[in-house]
Amino acid sequence: MVNHAKLQYYKQNYCLVCMTGLLGCRWHRYKQSTRDSRKRDLVVFTLVLLTFLFIDFLLYYVLIAKNDVYNLNWYMFWEFKKWISMHTILLAVVVTLFCYLFLLMILSVCHVINGHQLYTHPVHIVFVVLCLCFCIAVTVVLDELWKTEWAVVWLSLKITGPFLQIGVVTLMTALTWIIAKQWLTLSTCCVQFVWLTVYLIVMSGLYISPLFIESPCVKVIKDIPHKPNIIGHRGAPALAPENTLISFQTAMNYNVYGIETDIRLSYDGVPFVFHDSTFRRTTNIADVFPDYIDSSVSAFNISEIKQLNVGSWFLKENPFGTVGDLSDEEKNIYNSQSIPTFEELLTLVNKTDLILMMDVFGTSEWHPEHNRTIKIYMEMIKNSGIPKSRVWVTGNHKDYNVTSIPFPETNNPVQYVMRDNFTHVNFEHHMLSGEEIMEFQKYNITTNVFQVSAVWLYSLYWCMGLSSVTSDKCHVLERLKEPIWHLPPRNYLILWIAVDVLSALAVITIFIVQRIHHKDDAINPESVSLNSRIRISENFSSTRSRRSMKEKLLIKDVTADIFDDPEGEDYGIEANYTVQSLDGQAMARELRSNRQQDDRIELT
């Protein structure tokens, strides 16, 4: 068998120096080893690869979770009593780790392409292990605190799946050049067969994966449903302070179908518009009533509530990163906003034909109007003159004994909704499938999904045929004229088959070309000459080793004064050895003389 070892060159090559230096801290030319990678090197590379794939998944998760970033930040506020853009921090950390691991992967691939040993410096290994631990810890925490987001990630595959399949097939096809080259250097046919089988299984799975991708965006243009209506969640909170009159007015400027809000009751029985159970997050209560920061909002009279500023926090915290786009005039208007009463909101809505969706909150038992809270809300709605068809109240109406406003928030199946004669249903975005939407449409039941702010998620529900969505970013969704992508089934089938066929042809071609190159290397004069020298060296080393053992056995029991060999004249006897007499010294000289003669004969 011919050993395809490479000659070691030390010609100056700054690219190779940077490559080996960055990965293994081998900045000198004589350290650029071209010998085969050790098992330890391969284990480290596998660890880097697995960690890189893990960080890829985590990055995808964080990007998809951007739709619910406000909910995450809101949760972190109640944990730490401070507004923290946790999603931005997490995204920055994940992107940094992704870039670091991507660099390691590129350097490793370059080592393989150039035939260098895959040596990774221990410092890199430590960082990779820390990255892997970080990924595992973050995944566990997210699973505990944000379990519902896994359903969103799964849902996102319906719209990103076709592109991910094409991208992964293209990447694997490009990597086949390296895979085929390494596969041909495997030692035995059995090992080659095992790895070839694994490779074929992976590629075959990628080729047929579109059969398992059910994307609602794959449909004929004429079959794309009507654009879902947009309901401003607390107005337009991405552009103005949430649940303020200016926020509702801003939302109306973007042709929304309706506005969503939250209603609570003051201690003196006046309904007002507010979401949180305390005033800590969105008001300046720390300046006005510092001793009652965490008191219930229903413990304040309406006159006290009107003293609070509900716009300054928006300019200070910049929750959606849009404050920088505001003019000085808009900032002054926002900075003077107060908490509106429910009556003020009804007056504003009554001037339009918009839908009013409400989350109504009850009061604690200590509240003087505890038993009449919902009744007060309903009486005010009736007295406003707004038709019942334009007022949607979410919540459990059975508990509140409110059945005249037919918009329950429920997770019940269609049969339950039809049994109670509900005409509208409201779901969180991760709880509704395309089949359920179609089933609701079949029975003429209007379906709304709340907290849809990402364009991809809105496009997905658009293709599913959803009736309406509640969104924080009505100004973004309103600009869309069609889903971000849609493709007729025939065109998608052609694209899918074309990509798979081209990939298969490329893979076959690559293996053939690499096989030809492999044979050329086998008869390369340089390799043959080198391997001849290697065989001579191996035979010489073997003979020399046997003679050394004999020599050691001859003088094993001899002890005397120590003397040194001149440097570079090691002929198999220990560099430092002892003899007992002149006879022993003569024996050693005779052995050296015989050794030199044998060496000259072998080399000739």
Question: Average per-residue pLDDT in the chain?
Answer: 82
- Based on the fold, state whether residues 113 and 155 are members of the same structural domain: no
Q: What residues does 562 pair with on adjacent strands?
A: 578
Please state, in angstroms and rounded to a whole number, the distance separating the CA atoms of residues 338 and 126: 54
The one-letter amino acid at 195: W
The residue among 113, 131, 147 that closes a domain is 147
pLDDT digits (tens, 9 = 90+) for 95-112: 999 999 999 999 999 888
The percent of residues above 90 in pLDDT, for the chain, comes to 48
- Based on the fold, state whether residues 337 and 390 are members of the same structural domain: yes
- Based on the fold, state whether residues 389 and 437 are members of the same structural domain: yes
Pinpoint the alpha helices (H) of 5-148.
14-24, 39-64, 69-80, 86-113, 122-145
- Based on the fold, state whether residues 343 and 393 are members of the same structural domain: yes
Q: Which residue has the higher pLDDT, 68 or 344?
A: 344
Distance of CA 399 to the CA centre of its chain: 41
The one-letter amino acid at 71: N
- Based on the fold, state whether residues 468 and 436 are members of the same structural domain: yes
Please state, in angstroms and rounded to a whole number, the distance separating the CA atoms of residues 191 and 214: 37
Specify the pLDDT at position 139.
Answer: 94
Q: Which residue has the higher pLDDT, 30 or 369?
A: 369
The residue among 116, 147, 178 that closes a domain is 147
In the structure, what pLDDT confidence band is assigned to residue 578 with cuts at 50, 70 and 90?
Answer: very low
Q: Which of 115, 142, 121, 107 is nearest to 41 (CA)?
A: 121
Please state, in angstroms and rounded to a whole number, the distance separating the CA atoms of residues 555 and 549: 10
- Based on the fold, state whether residues 254 and 318 are members of the same structural domain: yes
Question: Domain count of the chain?
Answer: 4
147: tokens are: 């379990």
In the structure, what pLDDT confidence band is assigned to residue 454 with cuts at 50, 70 and 90?
Answer: very high
Q: Which residue has the higher pLDDT, 213 or 33?
A: 213
Q: Which of 157, 299, 237, 131 is nearest to 453 (CA)?
A: 237
- Based on the fold, state whether residues 164 and 207 are members of the same structural domain: yes
User: Does any domain span residue 281?
Assistant: yes
User: Does any domain span residue 4?
Assistant: no
In the predicted structure, residue 332 carries a pLDDT above the cut 80: yes
User: Does any domain span residue 1?
Assistant: no
- Which residue range forms the structural domain that includes residue 559? 525-603
- Based on the fold, state whether residues 116 and 245 are members of the same structural domain: no
Task: Centre a 10 Å sphere on the Cβ of residue 358 and count the other Cβ atoms it contains.
Answer: 23
The one-letter amino acid at 325: D
In the predicted structure, residue 579 carries a pLDDT above the cut 50: no
In the predicted structure, residue 407 carries a pLDDT above the cut 90: no
User: Does any domain span residue 3?
Assistant: no
- Based on the fold, state whether residues 213 and 295 are members of the same structural domain: no
pLDDT digits (tens, 9 = 90+) for 360-377: 998 999 999 989 998 899
In the predicted structure, residue 405 carries a pLDDT above the cut 50: no
Please state, in angstroms and rounded to a whole number, the distance separating the CA atoms of residues 311 and 338: 7
Q: Interhelix angle for 245-252 vs 342-350, to 10°?
A: 20
Q: Which residue has the higher pLDDT, 596 or 432?
A: 432
In the structure, what pLDDT confidence band is assigned to residue 273 with cuts at 50, 70 and 90?
Answer: very high
Q: What is the DSSP string of 579-597?
A: -SSHHHHHHHHHHHHHHHH
CA torsion sign for 281, 256, 377, 396 is negative
CB burial readout 436-463, b (16+ within 10 A) else e:
bbeebbeeebbbbbbbbbbbbbbbbbbb
φ, ψ dihedrals at 28, nearest 5°:
-105, 150
- Based on the fold, state whether residues 299 and 387 are members of the same structural domain: yes
User: Does any domain span residue 293?
Assistant: yes
178: tokens are: 């390296």
The answer to whether residues 440 and 425 touch, using CB atoms and an 8 Å cutoff, is yes
- Based on the fold, state whether residues 530 and 456 are members of the same structural domain: no
The percent of residues above 70 in pLDDT, for the chain, comes to 78
The residue among 477, 508, 542 that closes a domain is 477
Please state, in angstroms and rounded to a whole number, the distance separating the CA atoms of residues 164 and 153: 13
Specify the pLDDT at position 577.
Answer: 41
User: Does any domain span residue 8?
Assistant: no
- Based on the fold, state whether residues 71 and 209 are members of the same structural domain: no
In the structure, what pLDDT confidence band is assigned to residue 592 with cuts at 50, 70 and 90?
Answer: low
